[in-house]
Structure 1
Amino acid sequence: MKSMLKLILLFLLAYQRSSTHELVEELTDINFNETITNQPVSAVLFYASKDCEMCSQMVKRFTTAASRLVEFEQPIGFYKIDCLDEGKDTCDEQMVIDPPTIEIYRHGEYANEVKRIQLQQMIEIIKKVARMGSIRVDTLQELDDLLNMNLYVVLGLFEDDSDLRKVYLSNI
């Protein structure tokens, strides 16, 4: 009976670790631009997979930040890209010289950079960038929830697929 409980516990721990790591998707040169362009907010960790202790620590912090922001009011995509492997060209294009570095994008446009800071500071910066810009509100309840957050709100009413709506929602 004890061995069965140990086996179940090990399975649960392995499952928890694997599901936490799935919160941070690995990107490559091939899918980087398309992925971050399709997300309202993307936090991308540029790291080196070999011989970089600081990178290993930052990957752990970044994964923890992703797990803490799963249910944040704005959807945030968490990604990492290896500057020594499948992401070398992207790191060069983004001028990442000294990994680890976290860059935050809104609709694919660079918004902010986070360098080697502690977990709570990282989370606060990501939340701040995620709250910037335009968001879509479809119901009166969502509007009420937004107004109850004590934020400044500019409301725009548009037809479904108007050009003005697209510009307004992509505004950084």
Structure 2
Amino acid sequence: MSAIPLTVGGAERLQAELHRLKTVDRPEVINAIAEARAQGDLSENAEYDAARERQAFIEGRIKELEGTLSNAQIIDPASLNVDGRAVFGATVEIEEIESGERLTYQIVGDVEADIRASKISVSSPVARALIGKSEGDVVEVTAPGGTREYEIISISYI
């Protein structure tokens, strides 16, 4: 498996989720299974079935997180010599040339991408257009909705 790029914050969030799953959620579901078993007949026990299903989900998520973290390449853009360019982990404020709308995105790995949190995947059309560019540059983004031009207003390494 190849390296999975993660920001420092993204790695911390995944480690926190893994810790919670192992120390809180796993023991809770084990207790729920034990309580459901104590009720007797398991063939018609909805609580038992639900607890077993939840246990399977938790164990699967634990394996997924352990795999991701074991193959993670944690990148801190603040420690790189990037000369003010947009790189993985950078937070970039852009302005659409046509409408004047300003947007701010952090460029993150596929695992961390969450558009609601303004985190875009490094493999997205916008991020691919921004990588390597500097403040004041105009980039052209070809997306399913058409081609748009954006000016890079600022780049920060949080």
TM-score between both structures, scaled by the size of structure 2: 0.27
- The answer to which structure has the higher strand fraction is 2
Which of the two has higher C-alpha Rg?
2
